[in-house]
Amino acid sequence: MSADTEAAASPAVRVSGALRRARDLVAAHPWFAGVLGVGVLLRVLAMLGFRPALWFPDSYTYIVTVFRPRPDLVRPAGYSFFLKLLEPFHSFAVVTAVQHLMGLAVGVMVYAAARGARRWVRTLAAVPVLLDAYQVELEHLLVSDTLFMFLVAAAVVLAIGRSLSWRTALAVGLLLAAATLTRTVGQPLIVVVAAWFLLRRRFTATGVLAVAALVPLLAYMTWFSATHNRFGLVGANGVFLYARTMAFADCAEMNPPPDLRVLCDPRPPDQRPPSQEYIWSKDSPLVELPGITFTDANDDLAGRFAALAIRSQPLDFAATTLAELGRTFVWDRPVYPDAQIYAHYEFPEATPPPPGRHAAQLGVQRAGEYERGPIATSVVEPWAGWMRAYQDVARLPGMVLLGALVVPLVMRRGRAWPLPWTAGLALLAVPAAVAEFDYRYVLPAVPLICLAAALSTRADQGRP
């Protein structure tokens, strides 16, 4: 065969080889291949039924940051950077397609990382992220959670691998930095993974991880400081913690000084609205203060009020935190925090109305520039109806997630499960402690908890 013939034949040979390897993988892992195939089908149906994407109130802020690159006071800019990378396609359908691929990739990571467990256990661990209808819907929303889930899962899977070189530690640190710049709840995971490395006596890896994670964060914080004249990733930590403490804060017991007393709510805690209302509602004591809610002065005032509430009523703080966390583990799915927010987590029957908040109007305008066309969600039947019907029956009940969380504590086999278990628990507990429970905050923790459960069933005795 001539050189020209070999060159012409090589692409066909490569394709044939790839198809043969894919066939061999399916034959070796038939149950997982079937579940993965259904996961792909569900995501195709979502893209056919809801075009080009589904919108959430936060979406418009992210879009504005794409066109006006500056740190936002409430949300870090990581998701906006992601949207900026995809801007040349001028298609939110491309964004949701990439997010769906991320969801599928996390399912594959869970299955692959659980090596050593029985294949049916590994497949079962991947089922929630691949087949949960609310997971598919979250991937179709223009919010940061799918990107965050992908980055965290990739970091944890790398961290529990058997090969922990400095290059691996570097990659883990950069992934955790990216995750934290996507959602600030990623910050404690840096500490969790660093502790994991130290327990494994990987001191060099710990140092590399710390540098790789902290340098990007410090660079972003410097940018934030140059923009807003205060150092941090966001400028709303005090505001969110204030809102969280309003679930129990009793000014009669706290006896706050006059400057903090303006933030008191005279209503008994059981008659107060959900925590988020104290951030966004016009009649919130904080929102009624002069200036925007997230000024440095208001955020500092809110933070001092929250700190006093926690010091004065530590048991109430602990009890309400456990109550918020407990919402994760109920069997059904009650509407929370309110019907308007909850509706964004359901596949709609008709095109949702445009956003009502004035601040979102600029986001709508910018989104039209990004798409270079209409951005309203088109609900296309019958595909949309099939996904709505599927969502009525296919979800992970909270009590099943609780069972997965308990499995490693009962089995206690293998040595790799503590990291994904601790990381998953942190992702559930931290929002409950510093903000409030939200269904979309739960889903990024699910793959880690399921991975931990699968890993705890294997009997490996070597290093993870």
DSSP 115-181: BTB-HHHHHHHHHHHHH-HHHHHHHHBSSSHHHHHHHHHHHHHHHTSS---HHHHHHHHHHHHHHHT
Cα–Cα distance for residue pair 246/274, rounded to 1 Å: 9
Contact 416, 78 (CB under 8 A): no
* Residues forming beta bridges with residue 54, ordered by sequence position: 141
CB proximity list for 215: less than 8 A, separation 6 or greater: 177
pLDDT in tens, 369-414: 999 999 999 999 999 999 999 999 999 999 999 999 999 999 878 7
Walk along the chain (464 residues) and give the pLDDT tens digit of each residue: 455 555 555 777 777 777 777 786 787 778 999 999 999 999 999 999 999 999 999 999 999 999 999 999 999 999 999 999 999 999 999 999 999 999 999 999 999 999 989 999 999 999 999 999 999 999 999 999 999 999 999 999 999 987 889 999 999 999 999 999 999 999 999 999 999 999 999 999 999 999 999 999 999 999 999 999 999 999 999 999 999 999 999 999 999 999 999 999 999 998 999 998 999 888 899 999 988 889 999 999 999 999 999 999 999 999 999 999 999 999 999 999 888 899 999 999 999 887 766 667 888 899 999 999 999 999 999 999 999 999 999 999 999 999 999 999 998 787 899 999 999 999 999 999 999 899 999 999 999 999 999 999 976 544 44
Cα–Cα distance for residue pair 206/201, rounded to 1 Å: 9
**7 to 19, 21, 303, 396: CA distances (angstroms):** 19, 21, 67, 50
* Residues forming beta bridges with residue 50, ordered by sequence position: 379
The CA-based dihedral angle spanning residues 444, 207, 198, 191, taken in that order and rounded to the nearest 10 degrees? -40
Q: Pick from 239, 247, 242: which is nearest to 273 by CA?
A: 247
For tokens 């905050």, the residue is 441
Q: What is the pLDDT of residue 461?
A: 41
Contact 233, 184 (CB under 8 A): yes
The CA-based dihedral angle spanning residues 68, 70, 73, 74, taken in that order and rounded to the nearest 10 degrees? 70
Q: Where are the beta strands (DSSP E) in 283-418?
A: 378-379
pLDDT in tens, 352-368: 887 766 667 888 899 99
CB proximity list for 358: less than 8 A, separation 6 or greater: none
Phi/psi-derived region of residue 289, left when phi > 0, alpha when psi is between -120 and 50, beta in every other case = beta
Residue 290 in tokens: 């002069």
- Sign, CA dihedral 161-167-169-173, equals negative
* Residues forming beta bridges with residue 117, ordered by sequence position: 115
CB proximity list for 422: less than 8 A, separation 6 or greater: 192, 196
Q: Which helix (H) or strand (E) holds 50?
A: strand 50-51
